[in-house]
Amino acid sequence: MSWQSIVDGGMVGTDMIDQGAAFNPAARCMAATTGFKVTRVEYDDIYKTFTDQGPMWKVGITLGGVKYVGVSATPRLIHCRAGTRGLVAFRAKGCMCLATYKPPIAAPSAIFIMEALADDINNDVYHITVKVEDELLAKT
């Protein structure tokens, strides 16, 4: 299965996610829904939030020109809101995935989908691998 299939089927195909993307450890976008753009600065800010939630609580997270306010954050999952819209991000084995949701989708549904997808990736349900050179680039 490809990363694009995971984004299209495991995220957006559930009808609980509006847009989504998957990134490798080197911050390279491996797959995304059409038109979903994430800048390197946005990626870095979100990725750093997994280990340091302070900036998220103080100034929020900006994605695609929309400023999201932090709702919850753990070393694995981040949830932010901007009015009735939301952002969910997770780290899993070899990737970081981002997704947005909007009405009529409710936060618990989007979070449930993303947590289940993270579990599936961590348990090798999709048999996806990340190239070794990408992992090495992420460490430099």
Q: Average pLDDT of the chain?
A: 90
* 133: pLDDT strictly greater than 60: no
Give the percent of the chain with pLDDT over 70: 91
pLDDT for 25 beyond 90: no
CA atoms within 13 A on the CB side of 1: 14
* Alpha-carbon span 12 to 27, nearest angstrom: 21
Which residue type occupies 13?
G
DSSP notation for 1-32: --HHHIIIIIIGGGTS-SEEEEE-TTS-EEEE
> Would you say the pTM of this structure is higher than 0.85?
yes
